Chains A and B, each alone.
Chain A
Amino acid sequence: MAEFKLPELGENITQGTVTKVLVKISDAIQKGQNILELETDKAVLEVPSSIEGTVQEILVQSGAVVKVGQTILKIEGGGSSDVIASPKGEAIPERTTNSVEIASSPSAPRNDETVTKPDADQGSTASPLPNDARLTEAPQGNNPTPIATSTAPIPIRNDISAAPSVRLLARELGIDIALVPSSSPSGRISNDDVKAYCKMLNTARPAASGSAALSRPLPNFTKWGPVRREPMNNVRKKTAEHLSFSWTSIPHVTQFDKADITELEKFRKNITGTQTATKPKKISATPFIIKVLAAALKKFPQFNSSIDMSTQEIIFKNYINIGVAVDTDRGLLVPVLKNVDKMPVLQISDELSAMAERARLRKTTIEEMQGGCFTISNLGGIGGTSFTPIINWPEAAILGVSRGSMEPVYIDGNLVPRLMLPLSLSYDHRLIDGADAARFLRWVCEALQQPFLLEMNQ
């Protein structure tokens, strides 16, 4: 009997929540056939089998959290696989080309309706949020066991490059030395590595629950009326964790300004009008703002940078990728448009709508959500006069766009009605000074005021 274990799914992905099991016991399965639907940090992936044969046993269910290397199926007969464990059954699954492909193109065309959240009852028996007890019950996993709770015995490791004193320190701290990353090129684990790992576990723990600063106990809400508790889905968990980190680690300042987009609006409608393709396209203001931002980031490179406090360096990026916040039924996703400075506005518009559509259909891959330099969050479609967006770490700034409205503006001694777009720029004050932020936002506003210049620069 062969075991199919969850293969490597891509960089930094160690686990996922099963949203659907696509096979049944006694099903005959083929190599490459999808057997599992898995929700990882922000994408839903389909996991193909690397083994063929008959399913004898299914060891996971919808709603369960599975880790890379965990056994999913027991399969009888059929061809062997490159992912099968060694006869001892302890081998770590190899990184096969098959599994790497999953990560980069998870989306075989499929119907969105079948991607359902775990049922409430299944969710409660196998909550996707691993609590401490569960982690200690499963010491095999790739995930670090939180130190304070490691009552489970720490296994003996016979193949670790670490001095006896370092191994003893790890044991005393309740850390499995095999999980400690080495900072040395030879892979040797030092005392400092163990301490750093320990510190990381300690800080990651509260952050993982999305409440870095808030560890106070909640009141009993039922005193005031009935309540309902619902597990957070992965997107919510990730959002909570990520934004807590961004908010607590970056000193934010938000600068407000208004752009006169009366001319842009005329120009935009004009483009829409001249579309002669088979179906007329509507172009929103966002692609224009993205185009302006691309130019602004070139002019103000500190807005396209990241800060590295550990080395006291600033990292400037020579590429311009802009993340766009997309509202989906699962929560906020931020897919990234790559190299927007090299695209004309129409192409940005096309790619933007395709990307938003993929996000809503849950087909966005992890790769599509990585590599952003700057984020734009446009709430103008809903309303509001201004807001203070949170920077998408490790970026340096984010632009919030609210709803444009007609306002009386003094021009040449006259009050004239102009369409004014409120913009909110939150920036990392460690990297960017207030005056530069004001200049940057003013530059963006002025560029939006004169859309013709923009197209000419292109």
Chain B
Amino acid sequence: MSQTFQLVVIGAGPGGYAAAFLAADLGMIVAIVDKEINPGGVCLYRGCIPSKAFLHVAKIINEAKHAQAFGIEFSGPKIDINKLRDWKKGVVNKLTGGLGQLTRARKIKYFQGEASFINSNTLKIKKADGSSEEIGFKNAILATGSHPTVIPNLPPSPDIWDSSAALDLQNIPDNLLVVGGGYIGMELGTVYHELGSKVTVVEMTPGLLPGADRDLTDVLYKRAKGMFAKIMLETKVVKMDSNPNGITVTFADKEGKEFKEDYNKVLVSIGRRPNTENLGLENTKVKVTDRGFIDVNDQRQTTDPSIYAIGDIAGNPMLAHKASHEGRVAVEAINGQKVAFEPQAIPAVVFTDPEIAWCGLTEIDAAKAGREVTVVKFPWAASGRALTLDRTDGFTKLIIDPKTQRVLGVGIVGAGAGDMIAEGVVAIEMGSVAADLKLSIHPHPTLSETIMEAAESFFGHSTHIYKPKK
């Protein structure tokens, strides 16, 4: 065995590298094992960052089109797909390269390759150059992330994409089917729509973005209906067959009636599965639950005391910011600090147009738990800022405990909701009551005022909404 590390982090996504960096800053001798040449993981290489780069482009195209309404007309966009792809690659390389520098600056040993456990204190690394090496560790953090769920029994075809393939931007299909109306499908559907594809979305459940409150998704649905060629809800994909121009998809509607449509490309975005295969977990005491997640305690320690697990493999929600936070908790626990992963609110953001963001308790959760809540909403039609953006299709809502008046949840739909939700997270984490939000001066004219005014309306009055007295 060549070396022994105090901490080995397996997987250098936003959870893994945050953990490794903190551990190094705390003085531990740290190693990272990851398949890529630099840290970043799915988030930077094939997820959050490239999709947001494309969504920014989509927004520009859309706004240019929309400017017609103000009397400003642009000619249609000319898209140089190679240049666009290179620009995205540039963004990704700049970020991941920066992380590589930070890794070296912190004197973290970086192994490019795949790791598997030999036992609870030894790891075998199959390196990218073909050689292999065994290293010892006192503690390990598993942060191997997740991969797109595949539909079983599909024909092997270059015309069936997962999210990674869609982000490669090979071409802009005339007809694109998005299977799954979750956040990945809706975001990438939006990108391809703005780039010129006719996009159809098919979703098994009765609504888009399962898990989000319906009033939020209704606003998106309304806009998406006008944007996409078709949105088919409560519809299943039965079968896909290759044809010379792409894929013939057989659907079944909720009565079970089958019908066929042809598409040039199909994007399958029906969820993600944790990566727990081929890690040699059977050589450790780590337990994997039925759903494929790794069993962890409040400190993210697995059933094997020397091994911790964070991020997508440690359970839902599969979100980068949750992984980073868990990574820091795990490292501090390893460092002997008394910590626990106990967020009161984890923000979720869908970068569609309009954006949807929420945190803390949802109305769905409250109903499930039978918990009494007061919901107050402020429609963006009453926001000056929304009018100047010509984006009044949105609202801000607060979910409040009627007894303590504490803010339990925040939901926002509208342009820029993703940036605004942070205030909701802080409010919930700080244990704010409705009056705290009402009494905090929010800058004018910004969309953040809608949070303040929603809080005002909890007390029965709001400056920009008149409610006749009962």
Contacts and interface: CB of A to CB of B under 8 A. Distances in A.
Interface of A: 153-154, 156-158, 160-164, 167-168, 171-172, 174, 186-189
A189 B431 contact: yes
Contacts of B429: 163-164
B241 interface: no
B404 A156 contact: no
A94 to B, nearest CB: 15
Nearest to A161: B431
A161 B406 contact: yes
Interface stretch (B212-220, B251-259, B302-310, B335-343): B335-343
B404 A161 contact: yes
A294 to B, nearest CB: 44
B77 to A, nearest CB: 45
A174 B339 CA distance: 10
The 10 closest A-B pairs by CB, nearest first: A161-B431, A156-B342, A188-B431, A163-B430, A186-B433, A172-B338, A171-B338, A164-B429, A187-B404, A162-B431
Nearest to A153: B298
A162 B428 CA distance: 9
Interface string B395-438: 00000000011100000000000000000000001110101000
Interface in B337-386: 337-342, 344
A174 B338 contact: yes
A171 B405 CA distance: 25
A142 B404 CA distance: 21
A186 B430 CA distance: 12
Contact of A171 (B297, B340, B435): B340
16 contacts: A153-B298, A156-B340, A158-B342, A161-B406, A161-B433, A162-B431, A163-B429, A163-B430, A168-B339, A171-B338, A171-B340, A174-B338, A186-B404, A186-B405, A186-B431, A189-B431
A309 B292 CA distance: 60
Contacts of B340: 154, 156, 171
Interface of B: 297-298, 337-342, 344, 404-406, 429-431, 433, 435
Nearest to A189: B431
B468 to A, nearest CB: 30
Nearest to B405: A186
A421 B429 CA distance: 66
B368 to A, nearest CB: 12
Nearest to A177: B342
A172 B341 CA distance: 14
A163 to B, nearest CB: 5
A156 B433 contact: no
B433 A158 contact: no
Nearest to B435: A186
A157 B429 CA distance: 12
A177 to B, nearest CB: 9
A161 B338 CA distance: 20
Contacts of B431: 160-163, 186, 188-189
Nearest to A172: B338
Contacts of B430: 163-164
Nearest to A188: B431
Contacts of A189: 431
Contacts of A157: 342
A444 B94 CA distance: 92
Contacts of A172: 337-338
A168 B431 CA distance: 14
A187 B406 contact: yes
B115 to A, nearest CB: 30
B73 to A, nearest CB: 50
A201 B430 CA distance: 25
Contacts of A162: 431
A4 B405 CA distance: 32
Contacts of A186: 404-406, 431, 433, 435
Contacts of B435: 186
B449 to A, nearest CB: 23
Contacts of B339: 168, 171
Nearest to A163: B430
A101 B433 CA distance: 35
Most buried by A among B297, B337, B404, B435: B404
B219 to A, nearest CB: 28
Most buried by B among A161, A162, A174, A186: A161
Nearest to B360: A158
Given A153-B298, A186-B433, A188-B431, A167 B405 contact: no
Contacts of A168: 339
A340 B430 CA distance: 51
B382 to A, nearest CB: 28
A153 to B, nearest CB: 7
A171 B341 CA distance: 11
Contacts of A158: 342, 344
A162 B406 CA distance: 11
Nearest to B430: A163
A43 B394 CA distance: 61
B404 A167 contact: no
Given A163-B430, A171-B338, A186-B406, 7 more contacts: A153-B298, A154-B340, A161-B404, A167-B342, A186-B405, A186-B431, A188-B431
A96 B297 CA distance: 37
A119 to B, nearest CB: 41
B406 A156 contact: no
Contacts of A174: 338
Contacts of A188: 431, 433
Nearest to A164: B429
Contacts of B404: 161, 186-187
Contacts of A154: 340
Most buried by A among B339, B431, B433: B431
Contacts of B342: 156-158, 167
Nearest to B370: A86
B175 to A, nearest CB: 45
A163 B433 CA distance: 12
B46 to A, nearest CB: 32
Nearest to B406: A161
B298 A156 contact: yes
Contacts of A160: 344, 431
A451 to B, nearest CB: 57
B223 to A, nearest CB: 34
A174 B340 CA distance: 12
B331 to A, nearest CB: 15
Nearest to B337: A172
A150 to B, nearest CB: 10
A95 to B, nearest CB: 15
A140 B302 CA distance: 24
B308 to A, nearest CB: 16
Contacts of B344: 158, 160, 164
Nearest to B298: A156
Contacts of A156: 298, 340-342
Contacts of B341: 156
Nearest to A182: B431
A441 to B, nearest CB: 52
A168 B404 CA distance: 22
A400 B338 CA distance: 53
Nearest to B345: A158
A154 B338 CA distance: 10
Most buried by A among B337, B405, B433: B433
B151 to A, nearest CB: 35
Contacts of B433: 161, 186, 188
A364 B339 CA distance: 47
A163 B426 CA distance: 9
Contacts of A153: 297-298
B431 to A, nearest CB: 3
Nearest to B342: A156
Nearest to A162: B431
